[in-house]
């Protein structure tokens, strides 16, 4: 659809159902969850395994045709992987994080669509039955921004504030405060020294004001929608608003 034709009352109902489903179905799947978890399309988020931790105000978005997955897997020592996701992070559709060792993601990180993060090769080169194969922890520093389609391989550390360009494959460490891109990803330039970076945590400094603002935005988007027009668009879609 060109826009959402739901009446405002239906928008509120959908929001309530989404929050209820998140608390009832998803929250118990995590080992620990901070406050303010928000999941758009929670039925399209797959959680598999133990030791998955979320900080405060984690926002996870999914979309039709793009499942997101957080998965920890047993390793050869008898242990299993671990995923730590910091506070105020944004995870968007198609994200896959798969761990047989340890993937840690700092606060205020933004991860674009179709990003893949893995701390293992998942098979050994000469013994293709050996799983999870070579592994090494992945650390993504505070306030990192991963562009669309980025691949982050085992043993990689990405330093704080750095930006990884769309489609890049990160096979080696990336220092802090740089813009990097390519296959394999390499630093292209440094961020401007002394220039402040506004982080996602600023959105949540006054959580009551944040929630009020979000409700008002939903009201602006839906208050002019009527039930009859909404039903008509469902039955007979058209270009008319």
To the query of whether residue 123 is one of the catalytic residues in this protein, the response is: yes
Residue by residue, DSSP assigns 60-77 as EE-BTTB-EEEEE-B-TT
Strand-by-strand arrangement of the 103-105 sheet: 32-33, 52-54, 83-85, 103-105, 138-140, 157-158
Q: Quick one: how far is CA 23 from the chain centroid?
A: 18
CA distance 62 to 68: 6
Residue 12 host element (H or E)? helix 8-21
Catalytic residue among 123, 139, 218, 222: 123
The number of residues making up the chain comes to 241
Contact 115, 148 (CB under 8 A): yes
Report the catalytic residues: 123
């Amino acid at each position: 659809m060109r826009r959402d034709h739901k009446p405002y009352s239906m928008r509120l109902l959908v929001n309530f159902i989404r929050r209820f489903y998140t608390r009832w179905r998803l929250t118990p799947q995590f080992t620990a969850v901070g406050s303010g978890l928000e999941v758009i399309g929670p039925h399209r988020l797959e959680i598999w395994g133990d030791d998955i931790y979320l900080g405060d105000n984690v926002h996870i978005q999914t979309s039709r045709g793009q499942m997101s997955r957080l998965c920890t897997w047993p390793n050869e020592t008898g242990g299993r992987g671990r995923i730590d996701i910091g506070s105020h992070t944004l995870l968007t559709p198609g994200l896959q994080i798969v761990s047989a060792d340890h993937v840690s993601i700092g606060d205020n990180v933004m991860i674009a669509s179709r990003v893949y993060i893995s701390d293992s090769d998942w098979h050994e080169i000469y013994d293709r039955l050996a799983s999870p194969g070579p592994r090494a922890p992945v650390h993504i520093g505070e306030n990192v921004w991963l562009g669309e389609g980025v691949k982050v391989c085992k043993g990689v550390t990405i330093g704080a504030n750095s930006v990884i360009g769309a489609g890049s494959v990160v096979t080696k460490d990336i220092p802090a405060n740089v813009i990097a891109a390519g296959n394999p990803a390499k630093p292209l330039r440094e961020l401007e020294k002394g220039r402040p970076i506004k982080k996602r945590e600023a959105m949540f400094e006054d959580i009551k004001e944040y929630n009020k603002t979000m409700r008002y935005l939903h009201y602006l988007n839906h208050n002019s929608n009527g039930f009859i027009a909404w039903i008509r668009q469902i039955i007979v879609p058209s270009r008319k608003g």
